Amino acid sequence: TNNNQSTKLMEQTSKHPCYSREAHHKYARMHLPVAPQCNIGCNYCNRKYDCTNESRPGVTSQVITPILAQQKFIVVKEKFPNLSVVGIAGPGDALANWESTREAIERIKASNPEMIFCLSTNGLMLPHYAPEIVKLGIKHVTVTMNTVNPETGAKIYQFVHYQGKKYTGIEGAKILLQNQLTGIQYLAGQGVLVKVNIVMIKGINDQEISEVVKKVKQLGAFMSNIMPLIPVEGTVFAKLPSTNMKELNQMRDLCQIDLQQMRHCKQCRADAIGLLSDDRSREFDAVSPNLI
Ligand code: CLF
Ligand code: SF4
């Protein structure tokens, strides 16, 4: 029944270290870095594959196949009896590599139906894959959405690759925005708990964040997660100031009036393993040595 389903979802969510603050000291998550490609160009992104010291989204030691991901999962689950979530968060976009993302989830799900599966995406391909996401039983999806204004989007996204074409500027930003909005609304309507990640970029989108939060609340989002820009060498935004904790928390407090805020995000690597505050991924590098 619907009631049983929602009780089960609440139980699951209470064990999700990102969706539940109480869970994050108790339950571990594992990211499967099976998604190397991306279909947009964010001005803050610099994906790396061989970095062992950095901890931020987009960084992973290696990209692995779905079969290797399954093998790695078995090893990790042995070590972490408290593993509750298997997530796909890049190092590119989960949906720009849909075949690999789906295969990795299907493989693990077949023998571990109790696992919570989680996806993180820029949302561009949601109108195409959201029905499949729902059919796979995925109930936790994160969409990174930084603005509801295509002019601001044009400052954040260098390009948007969509249906075989490359779009830039406002044109690209509009396509991305439209698909994010359509996707969030569809997923929320299907009972998926959508978390919206927002990168707070001083002087670029920091004045519009509450507008983003209001909009996604209206579409049925479950919570939002405002994260500070990490200025990375070699990116367009390398020289921008980082947002400090005070500014970040003020923005979260303001947005909390509209929507539940995540406040314990650790801006994880694409291959992170363990508790949010204790990444143990380096210990498992040898498990899957094959690069693809
Ligand atoms: Fe991973 Fe993201 Fe799922 Fe969590 S991370 S795909 S929702 S299982 Fe969590 Fe890491 Fe922050 Fe992401 S702390 S970067 S919010
Ligand atoms: Fe990088 Fe993610 Fe943006 Fe793609 S969506 S360019 S992987 S930050």
Question: pLDDT per residue over 171-196, tens digit each?
Answer: 999 999 999 999 999 999 999 999 99
Mean of pLDDT values over 126-130: 98
- Which token pair is 124? 């561009």
pLDDT for the residue numbered 63:
86
For atom 1 of ligand 2, which residue has the closest CA?
Answer: 45
Q: How far is the CA of 139 from the centre of ligand 2 (A)?
A: 22
Look at residue 291 and tell me whether its pLDDT is greater than 50.
no
pLDDT for the residue numbered 4:
85
Atom of ligand 1 nearest to the CA of 85: 8
Q: What is the mean pLDDT of the chain?
A: 91
* Among the listed residues 103, 192, 89, 187, the one whose alpha carbon sits nearest the alpha carbon of residue 144: 89
Residue 42 main-chain phi, psi, to 5 deg: -80, 140
Q: How far is the CA of 228 from the centre of ligand 1 (A)?
A: 14
- Higher-pLDDT residue of 235 and 122 is 122
For atom 9 of ligand 1, which residue has the closest CA?
Answer: 18
For atom 3 of ligand 2, which residue has the closest CA?
Answer: 42
Residue 41 in contact with ligand 2 by CB distance below 6 A: yes
Please check whether residue 19 is in contact with residue 87, taking contact to mean a CB–CB distance below 8 angstroms: no
Please check whether residue 169 is in contact with residue 151, taking contact to mean a CB–CB distance below 8 angstroms: no
Percentage with pLDDT > 70 across the chain: 93
**Separation CA 225–CA 145 (nearest Å):** 10
Residue 120 in contact with ligand 1 by CB distance below 6 A: yes
DSSP β-ladder status, 116-121 and 28-31: unpaired
Mean of pLDDT values over 199-203: 95
Q: How far is the CA of 242 from the centre of ligand 2 (A)?
A: 18
Atom of ligand 1 nearest to the CA of 142: 7
pLDDT for the residue numbered 199:
95
Residue 143 in contact with ligand 2 by CB distance below 6 A: no
Look at residue 50 and tell me whether its pLDDT is greater than 70.
no
Q: How far is the CA of 18 from the centre of ligand 1 (A)?
A: 6
Look at residue 53 and tell me whether its pLDDT is greater than 60.
no
- Provide the pLDDT confidence category of residue 288 given band limits of 50, 70 and 90: low
Look at residue 48 and tell me whether its pLDDT is greater than 80.
no
- Which token pair is 163? 């249906």
Mean of pLDDT values over 206-227: 97
Give the contacts of 138 (CB within 8 A, at least 6 positions apart): 105, 117, 118, 119, 192
Mean of pLDDT values over 76-104: 95
Lowest pLDDT segment from 17-26, 46-55, 202-211, 268-277: 46-55
| Best residue for ligand 1 mutational test, from 142, 187, 275 (most atoms within 8 Å of Cβ) | 142
Give the class (CATH, top level) of 2-279.
alpha beta
Mean of pLDDT values over 105-118: 96
- Domain chopping of the chain, boundaries: 2-279
Q: How far is the CA of 173 from the centre of ligand 2 (A)?
A: 14
Look at residue 8 and tell me whether its pLDDT is greater than 50.
yes
For atom 8 of ligand 1, which residue has the closest CA?
Answer: 87
pLDDT for the residue numbered 247:
95
- Provide the pLDDT confidence category of residue 289 given band limits of 50, 70 and 90: low
- Provide the pLDDT confidence category of residue 55 given band limits of 50, 70 and 90: low
In this structure, how many other beta carbons lie within 10 angstroms of the beta carbon of residue 213? 27
Residue 18 in contact with ligand 1 by CB distance below 6 A: yes
Look at residue 290 and tell me whether its pLDDT is greater than 60.
no
Range from 75-79, 232-236, 280-284 that averages highest in pLDDT: 75-79
Residue 13 in contact with ligand 1 by CB distance below 6 A: no
Mean of pLDDT values over 12-36: 93
- Higher-pLDDT residue of 91 and 57 is 91
Q: How far is the CA of 268 from the centre of ligand 1 (A)?
A: 7
Q: What ipTM was estimated for this complex?
A: 0.94
- Provide the pLDDT confidence category of residue 5 given band limits of 50, 70 and 90: confident
Look at residue 160 and tell me whether its pLDDT is greater than 70.
yes
**Separation CA 180–CA 82 (nearest Å):** 33
Percentage with pLDDT > 90 across the chain: 76
Starting from the CA of residue 16, give the closest ligand: 1
